[in-house]
């Protein structure tokens, strides 16, 4: 079931919903993308974390289940590009994710993205910190399913 929620979120971070930066997923990540000249380019590393699931009362087979989670997107811009580059890119990503209701491949299921927020600074842990300035866009979500 969580795979359907993951797929719905992943689709929201793909064209035509979002195409400003390449998005790599933690599960598939091998190396940062490069530009045509082989140089560093801005990009996003994304991951979906699922939390606890709660089952609401009802008849068997009709019980509503609610699972919470968080989508974390790490916007990477080459070091020295400055906040003038990273923050607008994070804002664009936030706009693509903020307060969206996403359908899954299963009728009646819904992934509700809540308020997206961006955090920048040296508190974001990454082995790429010395090479990239990183802004974290965090989006809590609720996954409703049966």
Return the higher-pLDDT residue of 20 and 146.
Answer: 20
For position 94, what pLDDT does the model report? 94
- The residue segments making up the domain with residue 28 are 2-145
How many domains in the chain? 1
What is this structure's pTM? Answer: 0.89
Map tokens 């933690």 to a residue. Answer: 26
Q: What is the CATH number of the domain that holds 23?
A: 3.30.2000.20
Burial 127-145 (b: 16+ CB within 10 A, else e): eeeeebbbbbbbbebbbbb
Give residue-wise pLDDT tens across range 76-123: 999 888 668 888 999 999 999 999 999 999 988 999 999 999 887 666
Measured between its terminal Cα atoms, the distance across the chain in Å is 9
pLDDT tier at 61, thresholds 50, 70, 90: low
């Amino acid at each position: 079931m969580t795979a359907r929620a993951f797929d719905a979120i992943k689709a929201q971070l793909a064209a035509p919903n979002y195409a400003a930066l390449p998005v790599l997923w933690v599960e598939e990540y091998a190396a940062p993308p490069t530009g045509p000249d082989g140089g560093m380019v801005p990009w996003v590393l994304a991951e979906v974390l699922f939390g606890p699931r709660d089952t609401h009362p009802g008849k068997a087979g009709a019980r509503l289940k609610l699972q919470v989670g968080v989508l974390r997107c790490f916007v990477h811009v080459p070091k020295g590009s400055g906040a003038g580059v990273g923050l607008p890119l994070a804002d664009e990503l936030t706009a693509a994710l903020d307060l969206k209701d996403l359908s899954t491949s299963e009728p009646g299921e819904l992934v509700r993205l809540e308020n997206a927020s961006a955090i920048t600074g040296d508190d974001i842990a990454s082995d790429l910190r010395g090479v990239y300035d990183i802004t974290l866009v965090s989006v809590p979500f609720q996954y409703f399913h049966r």
